[in-house]
Each structure stands twice: as structure tokens, then as C-alpha cells.
Structure 1
């Protein structure tokens, strides 16, 4: 059977909906193949990339995956390392050896590196079942986060906030003059020059989260930001 696409890119689909026929198209995330049909298993937004189809869920919590970069909060400290809450049922473990290449004395005060309540951006390196999750601070960009605001969005909406090749997040940075980091767990750290800039960044991120399923999102967000910045500047 010749391949036939039954939906359009960025179309909202429901569980059980047939997306394509034939063997020309390949199933990605949240899509299964039944014979020569590709079927969605989630309510979400279809992404069509050449022959590969995937569905980005519109709802749902975060499920940790090895290789995810996440933002978390130090919840407890022991002589061996730290526990980090990152929005999962169980805290992740951050050992001293996954933070430093140098030797750390056994009785050294670990709070001078990461203290209770500190936020970090970190990498999931190992998952054993649901309860044992290891993270690391060894890698580019992994660090303790400075003063700023923490925002929580639905993890399924993270790709829309980031945009294709980071286009959406870059636009938010340019218009709001805020520094932004987005974790794949839906935690966002932002820091601006003033409260007004930070509040604008928060408003636009929430707008993206609420309207992520509507087509023309990028143009709509750009128009919104231009209007808000114009009002701020008295234009």
C-alpha cells in the first residue's frame, strides 16, 4: 500500500486515531503500528518530520528518562551526597563522586557546595525502577542556579516553550531581557533585570502553556510580546 498521511503537522489527535496508512511512515513517541496503520495512543499534538511521526502529549506528568536535563531542589544532605526533589514521586540521588573530580574529605561540610533549598540544573544518568534515580553535575551547563524565580509548567508543554531549535525560548529572552533555563521535568528558572521583565516572561510562558495546541503559536506569541513591550515603553 502506498503511504498516505491522514493528518496535518501540529494537528490535535486523540487516542486511537489513525494517523497514516502504509509502510512509508514510521512511528515515533506515543504512536503504535497496527498492520499498515499508525495509531496515536495519547491526546496530543502531531509532529511530522519527513517520514517520522510522533505525538507530543497535551497533558500528563513527568516520567524520568536517562539523559534528561532537569531542574531540582536540594531536599536533604548526608555524608555521601544530596537528595534532590525534581517533581517525581521519589527524590534523585546526587553523590559526591558525581559532582567533583577531586577528593572530598569525609567530614567536609557539603552545604558549602549545595545547601538545603538550593536549585540546581542536573543530568539524569541512571534509573533503576521507579525509586532509584541517579543524577550528575558533571557536564556542560550543569550547576547551582543563582537568585531567580522557579516556574512549573506541564512537562508535556516543554517542547513548545523551547520551540524548534530553541526559537521560542530565544524570542522570550530577547523581548524580556531575562535569563531562562528549562528543565525537561517542567521546572523553569528565570532571572531578569527587574520585576516587570520577570513577570512578562512568566505571563508569556503561561500563555504558551495554555495555547500550545493552537496553530500559529509562534506568530501569536511574537505579536503579544511586541504589544507588551510597546506598552511598557509607552509606545
Structure 2
């Protein structure tokens, strides 16, 4: 026997709340209905609308069905929980929470999931694993040459399963997966630090996602929500130093400038450090105080994520300064303390005239 599936039209809590608002403000509804009728879509009301899966979005068959919706009996329903978006005649539902969608140029932090044929599969928190080709990485020593069969046999000695790295999204494939590269020395294998993860929607996009923080700690804010906290290295300090601030700075044949008379140039520093870019050994000079500082920053970032505050360098530093009132690092992830840190960050921004 064949079963008959019946579709019951239901109204969610948000729609019931909308009916109460309509009764209280009928004049505004009349204006919105008039504007909708002028655009040729009678019966559709504008404004922010939150829907749940299976909830009726529109009875008008004139809308084009977009992401997050499905069509049944000439009516459009939501397939996800989110806000309704109407652009011209395109009707879609933007989910309140979703996985990371890569874009070209994104600075991300990923974890090696698989070593394949001339490529690594990288988990970046998206719907699919990203691809890092063998030709898109720097070999030890900063040598720029074609990759040979011997390099392919040694792929696991460079990056193996479980290793963390920061990279840039080079391009996107037709199926939506990303192709990465680590050709710059600011990208590569990560060590000397601690990993933490937040929702990707909380990472505020900026020109630079690597910042040196107070306490000799450097943070790498991956756009995909993966964050790496590490001890500030010489490369990090050299990258933030102004090019012409030091005395005796001279330009070299490659355009590199010396930071000071008693230090090596940035180019030489890259050449020396690149021999260690694939090492698995952490820096033995990391003291316990730096470890505690890294843990404090990690708990501060968790507090910002708990309060659903966009994560930037300024907010991390502000929350870190507010956390100094608590001597125990472990107490920073208690509910009351996280809420207090979030309030301190918001109040500090309001004092500076931020629109927050």
C-alpha cells in the first residue's frame, strides 16, 4: 500500500507574533501592502522576518526560489532557520548559523586531514575540505623551483595529518571547494602556540589577520573561525616594525630594508627561518608566564564568542585588559565572568563613541 503524505500549513511563533503586531499597527501594514502591490507582488510584506524549517514564507508563486527555500503546491517554504531576504523577485532564506563558505583572498587556519597525490586535503571548517597543492607551498630554504618526485615522496615530512597551518584561499572550484597556497612566509605550518575555534561569523574581516598582542603573544584570526595563539617570533616583530623608523636603514638589491644596523634584513631573516618552517619542535624558550598569557587570551576569546561579540584585535586587547582583574585564568570561562568581560568591552567601545 502506498502512503499518502499530507502537508499541513502551520504558522510558527514568529508569524503569530507578526499577527499581533499587525493588529497593533494596521496603518503601517496598509502602507507596506500598497508598496508590495506597486511592485507587482501583492500580499507580500516587507521588513525583517525570521522563519523556521517547514514554515510558510510566501503564497505568491511570482517569487523566484533561492537558497534556503523549497517550492510546494505553488507556495514557498523555508528549509532552514533564518531571516527572509527579498532581492527584486528572488526570495531566499539566510541561515542564522552555517558552516564557513570560502572566498578568494581569505586568510584561514586549517588542519591537514589527508595526504594525497601531490596535494593535501585541509579541514577549514567548511562544507568540503580545501586542497593545498604541492606546487603551492614553499620548500625549506626558500627555494623556488619545480617540485620533483623526491619532493612528492617527502610530502609527509613537510605536512602530515593533524598539522595546523595558516594559508590564503587562492581560488574556488566549481563545486565550491577552495584551493589554498602558502607561498608567502607569513603563511605555513603553525607551532609554539594554542588552537581555539569560534563561529566564523564572529570574525570581522580586515586587511590584516595576524596581530601582535601585549605580552609577547601573536594571534592569527582565521576568517573560517579557527584561531591560533602563539609566542611572538622575530618574523612577527619584523613584520610590524615600520620600514623607515630605524636608523641606518638601507635598501638592498631586492628592495628589502634593514631594521637596524645591528640586525639582519627581513630577507635574510626569512631565509634563516624558512629552514625551520616544517619543524615539529616547539620553541624551548617559551616560559610559563607566556603560556599563561596565551591561555588568558584563549579564554578571553571564548568569552567574546560566548557574548556573540565580533572578534577584532582591539576587542581582544580590551577584554584582555579587563581580565587582569581576575588572577585565576580558569575563572575567565565562568558564565558570570564571561558576561562581565563582554559588558566591559561594549562599554569601552561606547565610551570611545563606537556605534556598538
TM range (shorter): 0.5 to 0.7
Alpha-carbon shift at residue 180 of structure 1 (Å): 0.9
How far apart are the structure 2 equivalents of 1:220 and 1:137?
26
- Structure 1 residue 105 and structure 2 residue 148: aligned? yes
Match of 1:173 among 213, 220, 236: 213
How far apart are the structure 1 equivalents of 2:223 and 2:316?
24
Larger radius of gyration: 2
Q: Is the 8 A contact 1:62 1:88 kept in 2?
A: yes
How far apart are the structure 2 equivalents of 1:219 and 1:78?
40
- Structure 1 residue 95 and structure 2 residue 133: aligned? yes
- Secondary structure of 1:17's counterpart equals coil
Q: Is the 8 A contact 2:99 2:127 kept in 1?
A: no
**Structure with higher helix content:** 2
- Secondary structure of 1:139's counterpart equals coil
Q: Is the 8 A contact 1:90 1:130 kept in 2?
A: no
Match of 2:114 among 76, 79, 86: 76
How far apart are the structure 2 equivalents of 1:147 and 1:220?
20
Cα-Cα RMSD? 3.7
How far apart are the structure 2 equivalents of 1:227 and 1:66?
36
- Secondary structure of 1:197's counterpart equals helix
- Secondary structure of 1:199's counterpart equals helix
- Structure 1 residue 17 and structure 2 residue 48: aligned? yes
**Structure with higher strand content:** 1
Q: Is the 8 A contact 2:202 2:309 kept in 1?
A: no
Q: Deviations over 1:103-145 (max 9, x none)?
A: 3321431122212211111111121233642111123511111
Query: Which residue number corresponds to residue 202 of structure 1?
Result: 298
| 1:122-141 paired onto structure 2 within 5 Å | 122-130=167-175, 132-139=177-184, 141=186
Greater relative CO (CA pairs within 8 A, separation 6+): 1
Q: Is the 8 A contact 1:204 1:221 kept in 2?
A: no
Q: Is the 8 A contact 1:79 1:106 kept in 2?
A: no
- Secondary structure of 1:73's counterpart equals strand
Q: Is the 8 A contact 1:208 1:221 kept in 2?
A: no
Matched length: 181
Q: TM-score, normalised by structure 2?
A: 0.43
Query: Which residue number corresponds to residue 157 of structure 1?
Result: 202
Query: Which residue number corresponds to residue 101 of structure 2?
Result: 63
Alpha-carbon shift at residue 166 of structure 1 (Å): 6.8
Q: TM-score, normalised by structure 1?
A: 0.62
Query: Which residue number corresponds to residue 228 of structure 1?
Result: 323
Q: Aligned in 2, Cα 1:70/1:220: closer, same or farther, shift over 3 Å?
A: closer
Gaps of at least 5 residues in structure 1 are: 1-14, 19-29, 36-40, 44-57
